[in-house]
Amino acid sequence: MNSGFIAIAAAIAIAVSTIAPAIAQGMTARSAMESIARQPDAAKDIRSTLIISLALMEALTIYGLLIAFMIVAKI
């Protein structure tokens, strides 16, 4: 297989695994900020839930990076 195709496949793996979590993280942060603005008393609970959910979303991006490394290792 041509090394150019492998490089393109790795780039696509990174791009796809980054776009969706980035959009989801933005939407989650927006919703959390709106929730804190509506109920400031619940800010601590909302913040802790937000941090856990952002970490899980970031794991998806890291898995995409791992897949890209595995693809590049085939060169």
Q: What is the dihedral of CA 74, 69, 22, 33, to 10 degrees?
A: 160
Q: Residue 75: is its pLDDT beyond 70?
A: no
Q: Which pLDDT value is given to residue 25? A: 94
pTM exceeds cut of 0.85: no
Q: Residue 1: is its pLDDT beyond 90?
A: no
Q: Which CATH class is domain 3-72?
A: mainly alpha
Task: State the Cα angle at 49 between 43 and 51, rounded to 5°.
Answer: 100
Q: What is the mean pLDDT of the chain?
A: 90
Structure-token match 């929730």, residue found: 35
d(CA 23, CA 68): 20
Compute how many other C-beta atoms are within 10 angstroms of the C-beta atom of residue 10: 21
The answer to whether the beta carbons of residues 24 and 54 sit under 8 Å apart is no
Q: Where do the domains of the chain lie?
A: 3-72
Per-residue model confidence as pLDDT tens digits over 34-53: 999 999 999 999 999 999 99
